[in-house]
């Protein structure tokens, strides 16, 4: 599946962009260097006859991306939230990709619902509308339940969507392998692992049972968050290709005119959406991974309502602490500490100079402070940051890909609501609160108590572990000069447990 035949798919990608008239538009919007611009046009122009024609009634970028398929639409959705990178006009054009793609017939959706739920649609719903939103993977219908009269949203996967994504992902894998082969230096960015991560995210999004579970867990985590709501999942009316949940009543977060007409404060909303994301990522380690305007509404009371939980991100507690310390260091402009955290976490090879790395980070961070946020070029900032990572041999952290991508999207959403927003000032209270609660002596004691609890479950077995290690060592034909690694681990566990218990007892007595 990932053989050279995918080369045609990649050639067709450039050819489609050229044929639709989108290549030059995208290069202009992203302010591509002349050499890059000329190279792309030179490679794509001779093959434009191979490109997909698309819908001529659509603007060029939309025409090309929708013709190329769902995976390309996903990239367009990300850029739709970044007018600072692609320009206001192109960002507004791409926003259509969030939930206004051509739908499939309602009759096909009803057939899918009946097949998945095992009952006729009329038996479940007294009303079932035409599609109210259509995205790259599924579309949504507004319906009313027969038994309660409650308004609900019914999400139905597109027909044969799995096959369409499989084709794109195979081409992406081929491209990643070719990049690694032709440019060994690019291997530090782990392009193949990046595509594998993307594949995992997409496959999870193609099973609506997993999305229902994610929504339920997310709702439990955020139940106490002020100004934030999530719809209820109707488990008895959900399956692999169909998901039913409560209807979200409100104004789309991407419609600034409607928000202003409804009397909502866009400055407050911009700050809230950014702080909510940081809280979910740092506090819970579980966050909405697709927080663009098409998945957010504002309720009449001003609460932000989130839906579409196909992409959710998870980061472990250690990574959260590293991420928070890096953000906190940038906020405090303590670039030396930011550099040290990168080295401590193993993000930068140990043989590099930490002071020089801190100096490079200062060049990335300083332009942000004391400058009008609307004048900061995120495109230029990301470009320079890439140069820094290349110079210091940093590898792509696959566990942070979704976190970084979502941070970019959320910042774009916040900036669309308030172009003057300063992300560092808004983020500061959330990050400081997390640092205060999770980094320091109190947090260390809490972590120690958790470790003791885990060791306590194995406490009765520790003597057996030590004895088994001694027996194993004595049975070897030629005893090693030093104790085995297993014996070291057993002794260490026993000693650590005893020491930890002693520390906790001392704390209790003080």
- Residues identified as active-site: 290
Burial of 284 (0-12, 13-18, 19+ CB in 10 A): middle
**Residue 156: strand, helix, or coil:** strand
Q: How far apart are CA 249 and CA 252, in angstroms?
A: 9
Burial of 262 (0-12, 13-18, 19+ CB in 10 A): middle
Helices (H), 439-481: 441-458, 462-474
**Residue 126: strand, helix, or coil:** strand
Kindly state the helix (H) or strand (E) to which residue 36 belongs, with its residue range: helix 34-44
Beta strands in 202-272 (DSSP E): 228-229, 242-246, 251-252
DSSP 306: E
Interior angle at CA 288, CA 283 and CA 292, nearest 5? 130
- 3-class secondary structure per residue, 127-138: EEEEEEEECCCE
Q: Tokens standing for 40? A: 């792309």
Interior angle at CA 433, CA 429 and CA 438, nearest 5? 150
- 3-class secondary structure per residue, 372-419: CHHHCCHHHHHHHHHHHHHHCCCCCCHHHHHHHHHHHHHHHHHHHHCC
DSSP 233: B
Q: How far apart are CA 228 and CA 219, in angstroms?
A: 10
Q: Token pair 């206004």 is at which residue?
A: 100
Q: How far apart are CA 72 and CA 50, in angstroms?
A: 17
Q: Which residues contact 479 (CB under 8 A, 6 or more apart)?
A: 473
């Amino acid at each position: 599946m990932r053989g050279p035949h995918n080369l045609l798919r990649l050639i067709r990608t450039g050819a489609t962009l050229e044929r639709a008239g989108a290549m030059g538009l995208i290069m202009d919007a992203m302010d591509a260097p002349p050499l890059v611009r000329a190279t792309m046009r030179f490679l794509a122009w001779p093959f434009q006859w191979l490109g997909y024609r698309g819908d001529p009634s659509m603007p060029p970028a939309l025409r090309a991306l929708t013709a190329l398929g769902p995976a390309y639409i996903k990239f367009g959705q990300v850029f739709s939230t970044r007018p600072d990178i692609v320009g206001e006009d192109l960002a507004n054009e791409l926003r259509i990709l969030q939930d206004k793609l051509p739908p499939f017939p309602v009759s096909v959706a009803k057939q899918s619902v009946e097949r998945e739920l095992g009952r006729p649609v009329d038996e479940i719903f007294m009303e079932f509308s035409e599609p109210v939103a259509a995205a790259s993977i599924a579309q949504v219908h507004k319906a009313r339940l027969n038994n309660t009269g409650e308004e609900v949203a019914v999400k139905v996967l597109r027909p044969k969507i799995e096959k369409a994504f499989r084709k794109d992902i195979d081409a992406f894998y081929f491209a990643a392998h070719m990049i690694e082969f032709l440019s060994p230096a690019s291997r530090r960015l782990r392009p193949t692992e990046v595509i594998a991560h993307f594949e995992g995210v997409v496959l999870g999004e193609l099973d609506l049972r997993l999305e229902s579970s994610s929504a339920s867990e997310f709702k439990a985590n955020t139940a106490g968050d002020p100004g934030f709501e999530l719809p209820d999942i109707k488990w008895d009316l959900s399956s692999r290709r169909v998901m039913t949940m409560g209807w979200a009543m409100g104004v789309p977060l991407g419609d600034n005119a409607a928000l202003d007409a409804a009397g909502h404060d866009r400055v407050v909303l911009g700050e809230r959406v950014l702080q909510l994301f940081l809280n979910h990522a740092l506090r819970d380690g579980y966050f909405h991974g697709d927080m663009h305007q098409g998945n957010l509404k504002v309720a009449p009371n001003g609460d932000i309502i989130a839906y579409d939980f196909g992409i959710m991100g998870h980061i472990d507690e250690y990574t959260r602490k590293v991420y928070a310390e890096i953000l906190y260091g940038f906020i405090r402009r303590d670039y030396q500490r930011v550099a040290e955290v990168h080295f401590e976490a193993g993000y930068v090879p140990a043989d590099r100079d930490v002071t020089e790395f801190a100096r490079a980070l200062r060049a990335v961070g300083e332009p942000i402070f004391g400058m009008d946020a609307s004048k900061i070029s995120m495109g230029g900032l990301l470009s320079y940051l890439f140069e820094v990572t290349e110079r210091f041999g940093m590898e792509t952290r696959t566990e942070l890909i979704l976190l970084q991508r979502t941070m970019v999207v959320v910042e774009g959403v916040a900036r669309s609501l308030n172009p003057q927003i300063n992300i560092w000032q808004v983020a500061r209270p959330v990050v400081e609160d997390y640092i205060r609660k999770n980094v320091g002596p109190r947090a260390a004691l809490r972590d120690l108590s958790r470790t003791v609890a885990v060791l306590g479950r194995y406490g009765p077995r520790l003597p057996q572990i030590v004895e088994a290690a001694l027996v194993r060592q004595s049975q070897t034909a030629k005893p090693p000069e030093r104790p085995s690694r297993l014996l070291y681990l057993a002794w260490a566990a026993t000693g650590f447990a005893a020491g930890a218990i002693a520390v906790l007892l001392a704390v209790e007595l003080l």
